[in-house]
Structure 1
Amino acid sequence: MPGELVRVREEVPARFGVSSRYAKWAGTPAPPPTGPGPAVLFERVTPGAPGAEARAVLMGLYGTRRRAAALLGTTPARLPRQLLDAVASPVPPVRVRRDRAPGRGELAPDLTALPVPVLTDEDAGPYLTLGAVLATDPETGVRNLSVHRMCVQGPDLLSIWMVPGRDLETAYRAALRAGRPLPVAIHLGLGPAVLLASCCPASLVPPGTDELAVAGALGGAPVELAPCRTVGAEYIADAEYVLEGELLADHAPENPRGPAATPEFLGYQGRAHPSLPTVRVTGITARDGAILQAVSGPGHEQSVLLGFGMEAAVLGRLRELDAPVRSVLCHTAGGGQLMLVIQWERKRSSADDEVVRKASESVLEEFRMAKTVVSVDEDVDVESDADLWWAMTTRMQADRDVVVLPDREGFPLDPTQSPAYSPALSAEGRTAKVVFDCTVPFAQRDRFHRPRFTPDGS
């Protein structure tokens, strides 16, 4: 569609050049002035290595909910339901011989020759912000695909931050117990079904479920896998770039020069970890004319990618409770995780007042990341911030419609979730959670009638 893609043809540096130009389109929670905008293809981005070839970088492909859903031939309202269907009816990936996979060229295993962006002058270095890691647990044989924050520490070395207890970290621990590194394939540039599946939370795609099988169902065809050249791992055959390597027992500081990592999805500068596992890159392959895909950490795009899976998980849970849910939206102001808008079906009796209130509270209790729930009626446009603020202003009284759940498990990247901010919190990563019930009480429904404008036929 017109205006959906901007091409930047002049040469720009990977260090600050990409991020500074994209900033005006990054969207909340990036710092203002900004707003969601087009996908931006930087056609000539110069890497950090002197004399390295300029290569293409894409940012913002998923920068609006509508565009992200359209890439899968659907709408934002339908996509969470399609994700639930894909989890229920997965399509397993298929293996192809390397000579039957799409053609790829071999590059020198030198990360400094790739156009990996540096976002700010505080960053620890160039970051793979959309690197999807594929690995297989050596004990269980379970395959996992997940996106992780990885910092370039040298020509063939990355540090990697893995959320403790998630599948990749579990597979890594299993490899350590066996006394060997974990072979991995890191993908930079994947199709929308695969990338979206890799961003789904464990509450939707539980341990033991193959994200690639979910992607196959979502995309309507099995994902093709091929064997890596330099390590005993598989890679996704149509990826733009593939970094082959081994996740080592060795650790390194994320930023030996300072306290900052790279901007996080909640809009604040990330804090560097003092010690992280490392990946030794053993080979790099790329498609002809490959495009490296990246995101701006505190931008609309990352929130969109994280949000759809969370919406599906919450929608599925509310269905299990037989709650009259119509739709769920993870607002990008909460990074696609912390703020949820729940739209309810039209109330049929006064009993639904309590059903809506209790179901909203249950979401906060059951989903650790959820901090704020805004509940609205079926006549409110959940995609419109103006309509949401209108509903909050005219359909809520704070003394009766705000419910606070104190001192619950939360998410420490939110800087308010700390006893230093609120002494009522018992530990770091604890938070007060809140429901704003902006639904009309059943008995009052006739007083909240919105006008309807009839077309005049012209």
Structure 2
Amino acid sequence: MTRRRPADLRTALAGLDSLPGELVREREEVPARFGVSSRYAKWAGTPAPPPTGPGPAVLFERVTPDAAGSEARAVLIGLYGTRRRAAALLGTVPSELPYRLLDAVASPLPPVKVRDAKLPGRTELAPDLTALPVPVLTDADAGPYLTLGAVLATDPETGVRNLSVHRLCVQGPDLLSIWMVPGRDLEAAHRAAQRLGRPLPVAIHLGLAPAVLLSSCCPTSLVPREVDELAVGGALGGAPVELTSCRTVDAECIAHAEYVLEGELLPGTVPENPQGPAATPEFLGYQGRAHPALPTVRITGITAREGAILQTVSGPGHEQSVLLGFGMEAAVLGRLRSQGAPAKAVHCHTAGGGQLMVVIQWRAKRSAADDEAVRKAAETVLEEFRMAKLVVSVDEDVDLESDADLWWAMTTRLQADRDVSVLPDREGFPLDPTQSTAYSDALSGDGRTAKAHFDCTVPHAHLARFHRPRFTEP
């Protein structure tokens, strides 16, 4: 029987309260502009700049918005700041979570519509984004950003729902710009609405149950377009996600969200930052570049639970990498399983933003043929997953969660002239600043990259020479 996991954000936080060091409550009043980000920086973890390291979730109980006279409200950051805590919120451990995601995609549990009378009380707020404690991370940012807003929309042509997280910048009291990564499902729904000559109704959620939020961060390579992310979230959480109707637009929303921003995705565009080139820090650790023309969302209504918590994420840091990494791990693991490759586990390292660096743990080799099988399967990952830039292969005796163990394997189980293979000029990801012709004239265009496989597995012929000691209890 599937065990039910936290149905909302508050239940998840209540579970952390009893665990020493997992949740810090900051009761001092801090400003949304720079206050949340500067205080959390020491816990954000790489790729945030040092000194930093993975730390607790932090609930700032009194955060003041930019707008004068607005009341202080709660902001949560860092809930998924360690892989262990993120997995524990779903009742499992990091090595098992990708398997749980694969099972959820294979057996989705559709959401259900519920009546308002059965829901926690919600208050209607004025549709004024400046009255919310939306953080500004750095003095170069284009403005306040919703960095963990999960957008729910239904494609008007296919009828398929999509829940996905996008970069949303506050451009005015009731206006957000939105960057939809090209090729994602929300962009397809937006274009479908444009073909029909109407705006796309959307609901933007801040503060969701862990199973639902994690499902919204999964790549299309794991959750195909015809599969509802809410159904994946239901299966992962052990109970159907509950939906209700928005009040100002013809759209559905997730009933237990802390905040729901109702609105319409419009056909026009605005510059993300009219004042300069910067956007907000990105997950690979560098200041993001503003887009010259982005679609907008006009906010028509806001509802909130009593004492609502606005959940956010720091651009660079462990948390965003963890959220992106688990879905990528499941996608890679599923692809390797479909090939019959002897992969035991996959770890998408936070140093690569949970996307660019993939560590694969292989089962014990049974013959010399497995040496070539490991190499070919690893190179297949590099070819088929655009975001993957480096693949590191290790044996079963290496702890994937230990950076020291990974570097030890790299040092003692690799000879660069025979164990490193390079795939030049492949499709990549332009937020990595090395993936440009300005950096390397070997690339045929920006957003392309050389990829590499580091084979740190012991060749079958030499297995007897690489035994690690085992310490026996007296």
Please indicate the TM-score interval, normalised by the length of the shorter structure: over 0.9
**Structure-2 residue corresponding to 1:429:** 447
Gaps of 5+ in 2: 1-18
The question of 1:87 aligning with 2:98 is answered no
Offset at 1:102?
Answer: 2.3
Give the match's secondary structure for 2:203: strand
* CA distance in structure 1 between the aligned counterparts of 2:460 and 2:387, rounded to whole angstroms: 30
Of 78, 85, 99, 2:117 maps to: 99
Give the match's secondary structure for 2:166: strand
Q: Is this contact kept in 2: 1:418–1:429, CA < 8 A?
A: yes
Greater shift in the superposed pair: 291-300 or 94-103 = 94-103
The question of 1:20 aligning with 2:16 is answered no
Q: Is this contact kept in 2: 1:262–1:270, CA < 8 A?
A: yes
* CA distance in structure 2 between the aligned counterparts of 1:90 and 1:102, rounded to whole angstroms: 25
The question of 1:162 aligning with 2:186 is answered no
* CA distance in structure 1 between the aligned counterparts of 2:353 and 2:155, rounded to whole angstroms: 30
Give the match's secondary structure for 2:328: helix
* CA distance in structure 2 between the aligned counterparts of 1:60 and 1:356, rounded to whole angstroms: 36
Of 301, 310, 316, 1:298 maps to: 316
Offset at 1:381?
Answer: 0.4
**Structure-2 residue corresponding to 1:200:** 218
**Structure-1 residue corresponding to 2:469:** 451
Offset at 1:142?
Answer: 0.6
Give the match's secondary structure for 2:148: strand
Offset at 1:165?
Answer: 1.9
Amino acid at match of 2:167: R
The question of 1:329 aligning with 2:347 is answered yes
Q: Is this contact kept in 2: 1:66–1:75, CA < 8 A?
A: yes
Of 135, 144, 149, 1:126 maps to: 144
Offset at 1:177?
Answer: 1.0
* CA distance in structure 2 between the aligned counterparts of 1:164 and 1:418, rounded to whole angstroms: 18
Amino acid at match of 1:324: P
Of 63, 68, 71, 1:50 maps to: 68
The question of 1:63 aligning with 2:81 is answered yes
Q: Is this contact kept in 2: 1:245–1:281, CA < 8 A?
A: yes
The question of 1:178 aligning with 2:208 is answered no
Offset at 1:103?
Answer: 1.5
**Structure-1 residue corresponding to 2:24:** 6
Give the match's secondary structure for 2:147: strand
Offset at 1:97?
Answer: 2.2
The question of 1:222 aligning with 2:240 is answered yes
Question: Share of identical aligned residues, percent?
Answer: 84
Offset at 1:100?
Answer: 2.9
**Structure-1 residue corresponding to 2:48:** 30
* CA distance in structure 1 between the aligned counterparts of 2:421 and 2:255, rounded to whole angstroms: 49
**Structure-2 residue corresponding to 1:112:** 130
* CA distance in structure 2 between the aligned counterparts of 1:178 and 1:378, rounded to whole angstroms: 54
**Structure-2 residue corresponding to 1:374:** 392
Give the match's secondary structure for 1:130: coil
Query: 1:186-209 CA distances to partner (integer Å, 9 max, x unpaired)?
Result: 000000000000000000001111
Of 399, 420, 425, 2:417 maps to: 399
**Structure-2 residue corresponding to 1:342:** 360
**Structure-1 residue corresponding to 2:12:** none
* CA distance in structure 1 between the aligned counterparts of 2:128 and 2:105, rounded to whole angstroms: 37
Alignment RMSD (CA, Å): 0.6
**Structure-2 residue corresponding to 1:364:** 382
Q: Is this contact kept in 2: 1:29–1:267, CA < 8 A?
A: yes
Offset at 1:51?
Answer: 0.8
Of 290, 293, 318, 1:275 maps to: 293
Q: Is this contact kept in 2: 1:328–1:343, CA < 8 A?
A: yes
**Structure-2 residue corresponding to 1:232:** 250
**Structure-2 residue corresponding to 1:251:** 269
Offset at 1:98?
Answer: 2.8
Greater shift in the superposed pair: 16-25 or 163-172 = 163-172
Offset at 1:229?
Answer: 0.2
Offset at 1:163?
Answer: 1.2
* CA distance in structure 1 between the aligned counterparts of 2:382 and 2:342, rounded to whole angstroms: 17
Q: Is this contact kept in 2: 1:15–1:118, CA < 8 A?
A: yes
**Structure-2 residue corresponding to 1:318:** 336
* CA distance in structure 1 between the aligned counterparts of 2:473 and 2:358, rounded to whole angstroms: 34
What is the aligned residue count? 456
* CA distance in structure 2 between the aligned counterparts of 1:73 and 1:104, rounded to whole angstroms: 29
* CA distance in structure 1 between the aligned counterparts of 2:23 and 2:237, rounded to whole angstroms: 22
Q: Is this contact kept in 2: 1:101–1:226, CA < 8 A?
A: no
Query: 1:329-374 CA distances to partner (integer Å, 9 max, x unpaired)?
Result: 0000000000000000011111110011110100000100000000
* CA distance in structure 1 between the aligned counterparts of 2:278 and 2:142, rounded to whole angstroms: 6
Give the match's secondary structure for 2:378: helix
The question of 1:213 aligning with 2:231 is answered yes
TM-score, normalisation: structure 1:
0.99
Offset at 1:250?
Answer: 1.8
Q: Is this contact kept in 2: 1:161–1:276, CA < 8 A?
A: yes
Amino acid at match of 1:372: L
**Structure-2 residue corresponding to 1:136:** 154
**Structure-2 residue corresponding to 1:151:** 169
* CA distance in structure 1 between the aligned counterparts of 2:215 and 2:339, rounded to whole angstroms: 25
The question of 1:438 aligning with 2:453 is answered no
* CA distance in structure 2 between the aligned counterparts of 1:368 and 1:62, rounded to whole angstroms: 25
